[in-house]
């Protein structure tokens, strides 16, 4: 299936959850927020949230600065 991650077209297996996607991308969970089709998904729901064909996923990483 094809999905958009931060506006980039990517291909993944048909059955993948947000949690699996984060692990596959090797993204640190700490300081990370995910939105699917403009809806922020709480971390507690990542494992149950299945990605669908042509979903638009936004990965937001918190950064410190000063």
Can you give the CATH number for the domain in which 13 is found? 3.10.20.30
Question: Has residue 33 been placed in a domain?
Answer: yes
Give the structural domain span for 37.
2-61
Confidence of residue 35 (pLDDT cuts 50, 70, 90): very high
Structural domain total, the chain? 1
Question: Has residue 66 been placed in a domain?
Answer: no
Q: What is the pLDDT of residues 2-29, one digit of tens each?
A: 999 999 999 988 889 999 999 999 999 9
- Laid out side by side, the sheet with 56-61 consists of 8-11, 2-5, 56-61, 32-36, 39-41
Question: Has residue 40 been placed in a domain?
Answer: yes
Q: Which residues contact 59 (CB under 8 A, 6 or more apart)?
A: 5, 6, 25, 27, 32, 33, 34
d(CA 53, CA 56): 9
Q: What is the pLDDT of residue 14?
A: 87
Alpha carbon 17 to its chain centroid, in Å, reads 8
């Amino acid at each position: 299936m094809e999905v958009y991650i931060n506006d980039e077209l990517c291909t993944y297996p048909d059955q993948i959850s947000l949690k699996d996607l984060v692990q596959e991308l090797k993204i640190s969970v700490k300081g990370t927020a995910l939105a699917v089709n403009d809806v922020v998904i709480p971390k507690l729901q990542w494992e149950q949230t299945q990605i669908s064909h042509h979903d638009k996923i936004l990965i937001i990483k918190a950064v410190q600065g000063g």
